[in-house]
């Protein structure tokens, strides 16, 4: 099993560009989430989903969109990239919100 797969691993964008960070899991997990991690800030929850067709906002949702059309995939869209969105992004999945989360390897995103 691949677990949680994030692509790309690295990306550089210009301010104002849009892009989609991909996340896929092959464990049939219902719960998926996106975090960003900045130095000294820990992991901050952006959006999460408790199942296909259901998404909700986390702590820092502004500037990001998500959708969950299938159980396996949970893409994160940056609508108009800003330098403040430079960060490491982690996707995670679990059977439920009260089960251990499995994390992807992260996407390192730089906005110039």
Partner 1 sequence: GQNIDQPTEMTATEGAIVQINCTYQTSGFNGLFWYQQHAGEAPTFLSYNVLDGLEEKGRFSSFLSRSKGYSYLLLKELQMKDSASYLCAVTDKLIFGTGTRLQVFP
Q: Which is nearer to partner 1, 19 or 45 (CB)?
A: 45
Separation CA 110–CA 97 (nearest Å): 30
> Using CB under 8 A, which of the segments 11-19, 65-73, 77-85, 102-110 binds partner 1?
102-110
CB atoms within 10 A of CB 99: 12
Binding mask 40-79 for partner 1 (x = CB under 8 A): xxxxxx--x---------xx--------------------
Considering the complex, state which of residue 40 and residue 62 has its C-beta at the smaller distance from partner 1. Answer: 40
The three-state DSSP-derived secondary structure of the chain is CCCEEEECCEEEECCCCCEEEEEEECCCCCEEEEEEEECCCEEEEEEEEEECCEEEECCCCCCEEECCCCCCECCEEECCCCHHHCEEEEEEEECCCCCCCEECCCEEEEEC
Residues from 17 through 36 that contact partner 1 (CB under 8 A): 33, 35
Among 81, 104, 107, 111, binds partner 1 (CB under 8 A): 104
Tell me the number of residues near partner 1 by CB under 8 A: 22
Name the site residues for partner 1 (rule: CB under 8 A).
Answer: 33, 35, 40-45, 48, 58-59, 90, 92, 97-98, 100-106
């Amino acid at each position: 099993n691949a677990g949680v797969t994030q692509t790309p691993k690295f990306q550089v964008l210009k301010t104002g560009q849009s892009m989609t960070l991909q996340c896929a899991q092959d464990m049939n997990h219902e719960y998926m989430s996106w975090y960003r991690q900045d130095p000294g800030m820990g992991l901050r929850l952006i959006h999460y989903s408790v199942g296909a067709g259901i998404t909700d906002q986390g702590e820092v949702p502004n500037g990001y969109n998500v959708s969950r059309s299938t159980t396996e995939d949970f893409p994160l869209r940056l609508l108009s990239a800003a330098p403040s969105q430079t960060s490491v992004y982690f996707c995670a999945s679990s059977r439920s919100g009260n089960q251990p989360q499995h994390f992807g390897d992260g996407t390192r995103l730089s906005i110039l």
